[in-house]
Amino acid sequence: MDYYLRTTSKEAFIQDLQKLGIEIELDNYYQDENLIIDWIGLIPNPVEVDSEGNVIGEITYKDGQHVNIRSKQELDVSLFENTVDVYPSVPFRMFS
């Protein structure tokens, strides 16, 4: 199962995982036999670029911090308080 999630912070996301009985230390990537977690972080909104490759205007970001989870079994994401499922509104699929 692929999960594309938005959370308030990495610490809040780890707290939500602990509710599922998943105890991990997450830097930017975690993998075991049942789970792959890839911390994406901030995702920029589309920007306009001039012919010389310079960004026009200010770079802004989508709300929250983003993370991608690949799990062999379904996760009960209803237990998450700080994390919401944002699929399909994600910019890319990491595990296609």
* Total number of domains in the chain: 1
Residue 55 is assigned to a structural domain of this protein? yes
Which tens digit of pLDDT belongs to each residue from 14-72?
Answer: 988 888 888 888 889 999 888 899 999 998 988 999 999 999 999 999 888 999 888 88
94 falls within a domain: no
Kindly state whether residue 96 falls inside one of the protein's structural domains: no
Whether the model pTM is above 0.85: no
- Quick check: bond before 88 cis, omega within 30? yes
User: Does residue 33 lie in a domain region?
Assistant: yes
DSSP 8-state secondary structure symbol assigned to residue 73: S
Q: Which domain range does residue 71 map to?
A: 2-85
How big is the chain, counted in residues?
96
Asked if 7 and 16 touch (Cβ cutoff 8 Å), the reply is yes
Residue 91 lies in a domain: no
